[in-house]
Amino acid sequence: MKLFIAIGIIAVYFAGCSSTPQSQSNANLLPALRPYVQEVANELGMVSAERRVMLDAIATNVASQLRSGKEAQLTFICTSNSRRSHMSQIWAQTAAYYYGLNDVHAFSGGTQATACNCRTVAVMRRVGFTIEDATTGDNPVYLVRYAQDRPPIRAYSKRYNADANPKRDFIALMTCSVADKTCPLVEGAISRYAIHYADPRVCDDTPTETTAYNERCREIAREMFYIMSVTRRQLDAVKITSRLQPRSSLQAESVQVR
């Protein structure tokens, strides 16, 4: 009986929520970033059913980590840690903040280190992130800010197992098909998912360069927000169920006594 009640509560919760409640801390998103973020949050229905299968599995894994009292560590991996993995890290951390998931931490790395590409920096600036050049050289460090009350993300190219990244108990997310094939074992990962994105690099120095980077940025943003929104709903559904179960049990006992 309790199982049926819990299932009913969860079903009503999901059916009645067209969008996930936002954290009050959203007011501290950078003003320039807010319009773009709101558009992305309203586009989650555009995620295809095929992609949702994988993204739902990731969200369930993240929620499971958080329910067990652990931090959820996500490491986005591509070949050179220059484009897609950085976009994914930045958007995942922003989405976690947006949905009040304070124990979700995003990282990125490659199977080799090169540099965070200047085109990646440019597209993230276009959508509203504040990005400062902290260092210069062949592999500069960029400080990426998304909120007024959070430290900046340090964006630079590195291997996925570099000192700045977790060495164990992290979820590996392969953003690149090449890295996925050439790195069959991700040491320290508790699970691994292939969320490949087309590489905008193929359009570098062409008339479609800006469009390609804008589209990839939007796609990645949408899917990171989808993952975090589902994670938030799963956590909230469990809270609602646990809160209402004792009351339901008392009502059932009352009916039996009558």
Residue 246 or 212, more confident: 212
What is the model's pLDDT at position 27?
72
pLDDT at 243: 64
253: how many CB neighbours lie within 10 A of its CB?
A: 9
Residue 33 has pLDDT above 70, yes or no: yes
- Average pLDDT of the residues of the chain: 88
Element (H, E) at 191: strand 189-194
With beta carbons less than 8 A apart as the criterion, state whether 159 and 149 touch.
no
- pLDDT given at position 37: 97
Please give the average per-residue pLDDT across 51-55, as a whole number: 97
| Mean pLDDT of the region 89-98 | 98
Q: Which pLDDT tens digit goes with each residue over 1-29?
A: 444 444 444 443 443 343 444 554 577 99
**Local confidence band at 168 (pLDDT 50, 70, 90 cut-offs):** very high
Residue 183's pLDDT is 81
What value does the mean pLDDT take over residues 174-183?
Answer: 89
- pLDDT tens-digit series, residues 181-239: 888 789 999 999 999 999 999 999 999 999 999 999 999 999 999 999 999 999 999 77
- Identify the pLDDT of residue 241: 64
What local confidence, expressed as pLDDT, does residue 246 receive?
57
In whole angstroms, give the CA distance from residue 128 to residue 125: 5
Neighbouring-strand partners of residue 172: 75, 192
Confidence tier at 254 by pLDDT (50, 70, 90): very low
Which tokens is 230 given? 């589902």
Q: What is the pTM of this model?
A: 0.86
101 — pLDDT class (breaks 50, 70, 90): very high
How far is the CA of 36 from the CAs of 121, 125, 129, 217, 258, in angstroms? 16, 12, 10, 11, 57
Cα 160 to its chain centre, rounded Å, is: 17
pLDDT at residue 1, as a whole number: 46
Give the C-alpha separation, 82 to 164, whole Å.
16
- Place 251 in a pLDDT band, splitting at 50, 70 and 90: low
pLDDT-based confidence at residue 247 (cuts at 50, 70, 90)? low
